[in-house]
Every structure is written in structure tokens, then in C-alpha cells.
Structure 1
Amino acid sequence: MKLKKGDRVIVISGKDKGKTGLIKEVFAKENKVIVEDVNVRTFHTKPSQKDQEGGIFKKEVPIDVSNVMYDIGTKKESKRTKIGFKYVDVRGKKIKKRIAKKTGDEI
């Protein structure tokens, strides 16, 4: 998976299309990510011994990786791009770096 925790992404499909946020968690085996303030669901809980209050709370649930793209723009203006890899020679060792395909810059 090319996306990592902490990357700024933009949602490209679904009910939250156009929203941007940081990746909070990555589930590589399921091909899903949790993005802050995106795909928020409301849950109702009954009072129990563990949770005396119960009530209504909101939680971010995972969204499929195919529905998000890496965001290289600013907070006001968002530009999306694909992520690629390039090998850079550092002191005789080749290191794999992530690059933005649109601009060629390292991420």
C-alpha cells in the first residue's frame, strides 16, 4: 500500500467526496484507511456496568483505499496525485523513496 499514516488525502468518491484529512490508521490487509472527519457514523449505546452513561457518540469508520488519493495541495486548494517510487543512491546504498507522480517531488 502506497499510503501511510499521517498522509494528507482527498476523498474522490462516495458521500464525503471532496473532503480532505489526515490518515489516522491504515489497515493494509483489508485495503482500508481511517481518515479524520471522513465517513463518520453515529452509534447508540445502552448503559452498562462498564459504561454507566451510555448515549450517542460519533466514530470514524474505515474507507476503502480506492476512494482516496494523496493530496499535494494546500488547505485552501487541493490537488490530487498518484504516488510512485524511485530509488535514490545515498552513500553507495539504494534507498526507495515515495514521489508524487504529478510533480516528481519526494514525499
Structure 2
Amino acid sequence: MNVKINDTVRVLTGKYKGKEGKVLVTSPKHNTVIVEGVNIVHKHEKARRANETSKIVTEEAPIDVSNVQVVCDKCGKATRVAHAEIDGKKVRVCKKCGAVLDKAYSKKAKADAAAAEEAPKKRVRKRSAKNAEEQETAESTSAVTGEE
């Protein structure tokens, strides 16, 4: 199943066609998902005790996973999901624009990039020609005499 909890998905068929929502629950066993604000049903609950009241409860019902597609954060389009291996991790990728869909991986990559920018850059000093010659002669004499 390519849909995960907290993904934004678009409904492809049925009464709620075109509506977008966040995935609340996935059920791989039944191949269904529950999407926020989609497939609303009314359940009538009867009072079971003397101090309870009867009520009508509205809640989201499951939708088959084949009727939804993941919406890419980068391009904003409903897309099929591809799988790729990046830095040794298997991640979900948008088929249309190639962006990484896994939010945890995206956050880690951004944090790593920010840390690399903030790290102080190493300064490399150029050796003067005189120092370079002295060092070369010292190395050659130590090689000849066997000193280290």
C-alpha cells in the first residue's frame, strides 16, 4: 500500500470525487483508508443506560485505497507513487516531478543541508614558494639518510 498516515490524498471516484483530505487511518488488511472529511456517515446510537441520551454521530467511513491518489507537496498534483533508493533508504517518489514524498526523509535531508551550510569552512593556506622548497629538500634528505 503506497498511502501512509498523514498523507494528503485526492479522491478519484464516487460522491466525494475531487475532494482532498488527510489520511487518518490505513488498513492494509482490508485495503482501505479513512480520509478526513470524506465519506461521512451518520450512525444512530441508542441510549444503553438511564443517564445516557440517544444521538446521531457523524464520522468518516473507510474508502478503498484504489479510489485515492497521493497529492505531491511540490507540484500539487495527484500522482502515482514510485519507489527509489536514495542514500541507502527506500523512499516514495512522485512519478510526475520526482520529489520525495516521505516527510520524515525530506525533513532529515533539509536538516543535513542546513547543518552543512552552517559548518565553518576549512581555510587552506597556500604555502609560499620558499617554504615549499625547504620542505621538499628536508623530505629528500630524510629519505636519503633514512630519518623520519
TM-score (norm 2): 0.64
Of Structure 1 and Structure 2, the greater strand share is in 1
Alignment-derived partner of residue 57 in structure 1: 57
1:56-87 Cα distance to aligned partner (Å, 9 max, x none): 1101110000000011268xx95210111001
Q: CA deviation at 1:25?
A: 0.3
Runs of 4+ in 1 over 4 A off after TM superposition: none
Matched residues in 1 for 2:46 and 2:89: separation?
A: 52
Task: Sort the Cα spacing of 1:88 and 1:44 in 2 relative to 1 into closer, same or farther, 3 A.
Answer: same
Which amino acid in structure 2 is aligned with residue 101 of structure 1?
Answer: K
SS in 2 for 1:66: helix
Percent identity for Structure 1 against Structure 2: 38
1:14-29 map, 5 Å: 14-29=14-29
Task: Report the count of equivalent residues.
Answer: 101
1:12 and 1:50, CA in 2 relative to 1: closer, same or farther beyond 3 A? farther
With a CA cutoff of 8 Å and minimum separation of 6, indicate the structure with the bigger relative contact order.
1
CA distance in 1: counterparts of 2:9 and 2:51, whole angstroms: 34
Give the direction of change, closer, same or farther, for the CA distance of 1:51–1:34 in structure 2 (3 Å limit): farther
Quick one: distance in 2 between partners of 1:51 and 1:17? 41
Alignment of 1:12-91 (within 5 A): 12-49=12-49, 52-72=52-72, 79-89=77-87
TM-score when scaled to structure 1?
0.87
Deviation of 1:4 (Å): 0.2
Which runs of 5 or more structure 1 residues have no equivalent in the other structure? none
Partner SS state of residue 17, structure 1: coil
Structure with higher helix content: 2
Q: What is residue 94 of structure 2 aligned with on the other side?
A: 100
CA RMSD of aligned residues (A): 2.0
Tell me, yes or no, if the aligned pair for 1:73 and 1:80 is still in contact at 8 Å. Answer: no
